[in-house]
Amino acid sequence: MTMPLSSCHAARIFDVSQRVALVTGAASGLGQAIARVLLDNGARVVMGDKHAVAPCGNDRRSLAVECDVTDDAAITGMFDQAEQQFGLVDVVFNVAGIGLRESAAETSRDHWRTIMRVNGESAFCVSREAGRRLIAARHSGSIVNVTSFLRERPMRNVAAYGASKAAMHQMTRSLAFEWARHGIRVNEIAPGWFPTGMTAPFLEGRAGSVVAQANPMRRLGSPDDLAGVVLLLASDASAYITGASIAVDGGQHLD
């Protein structure tokens, strides 16, 4: 059914004020930026991270939870706290992750397993917990996995990291297909180079300038560049979008 044009007001279709959102990796970087966008636009936000999360926005609409996403009991506890404080979580952003920059020849089995566990496996487990609860409640929802342009673009010294993000990409498509009948949308944001604590060791100095100049838009990403896609995927504006991957990379994927 096509929505009447008279009802397609941006303030309504992008409204997240009735959403309960959970953001992993919210203590810093892109997770913190995403949590702030949601809070600034009226959502109630649970900020989960292995490290302590600093207050962000209105304390009455935010809840900080220390959670190791590699621990199933911790994930369950995080959702339980969210429900006790705000009710059912209907928006999830899987942002928690770690990087690994070393040559393939030097990447040990333990390093490979660790990055797969933190990035891919944990995003699945958080999504699974959200999906179980939404299905049981017969409630629609939105799950967003934050991957990377490296999910499909080869680059030296990031074989394990790229593979973990590629796994998240395929997981997004699979969950979207399986849960569409329950009204649960599963989509993906694939950022390019954004200065964060994880990317700082690589982007500091001359490397950052080189990367920026190689980008079609001739710059790195900034937290504000995420706001539009975050609100799109968290709101009814994306009611008929699932299994999609949205690149937020200044056109880097086109190169």
What strand order describes the sheet that includes 91-94?
62-66, 44-49, 20-24, 91-94, 141-146, 184-191, 245-248
Distance CA 144, CA 248 (A): 14
Phi, psi of 223 (to 5 degrees): -50, -35
Active-site residue identified among 79, 86, 149, 161: 161
C-alpha 45/C-alpha 199 separation (Å) is 25
Backbone angles phi, psi at 6, to 5 degrees: -65, -20
* CA dihedral sign of residues 141, 55, 126, 147: positive
Please list, in sequence order, all residues whose beta carbon lies within 8 angstroms of the beta carbon of residue 250, skipping any fewer than 6 positions away: 192, 215, 216, 217, 219, 220, 221
- For tokens 């911790």, the residue is 74
Is-catalytic flag, 161? yes
121: DSSP letter: I
Handedness of CA 226, 229, 231, 234 (dihedral sign): negative
First to last CA, the chain: 37
Residues marked as catalytic? 161
